[in-house]
A and B are shown apart, each in its own frame.
Chain A
Amino acid sequence: EDQVTQSPEALRLQEGESSSLNCSYTVSGLRGLFWYRQDPGKGPEFLFTLYSAGEEKEKERLKATLTKKESFLHITAPKPEDSATYLCAASGGYNKLIFGAGTRLAVHP
Chain B
Amino acid sequence: DTAVSQTPKYLVTQMGNDKSIKCEQNLGHDTMYWYKQDSKKFLKIMFSYNNKELIINETVPNRFSPKSPDKAHLNLHINSLELGDSAVYFCASSLGTDTKNIQYFGAGTRLSVL
Contact = CB atoms under 8 A, between A and B. Distances in A.
Interface of A: 31-32, 36, 41-46, 49, 51, 85, 87, 89, 91, 93-99, 101-102
Nearest to A4: B42
Interface residues of B, number: 27
Interface of B: 4, 31, 40-45, 48, 55-56, 90, 92, 94, 96-108
A44 B48 contact: no
Contacts of B101: 95
Contact of B45 (A43, A44, A97): A97
Contacts of A95: 31, 48, 94, 96-99, 101, 103
B20 to A, nearest CB: 19
B92 to A, nearest CB: 8
23 contacts: A32-B99, A43-B4, A43-B92, A43-B107, A46-B103, A51-B99, A85-B41, A89-B43, A91-B99, A94-B48, A95-B31, A95-B97, A95-B98, A95-B99, A95-B103, A96-B45, A96-B48, A96-B56, A98-B45, A99-B43, A99-B44, A101-B40, A102-B41
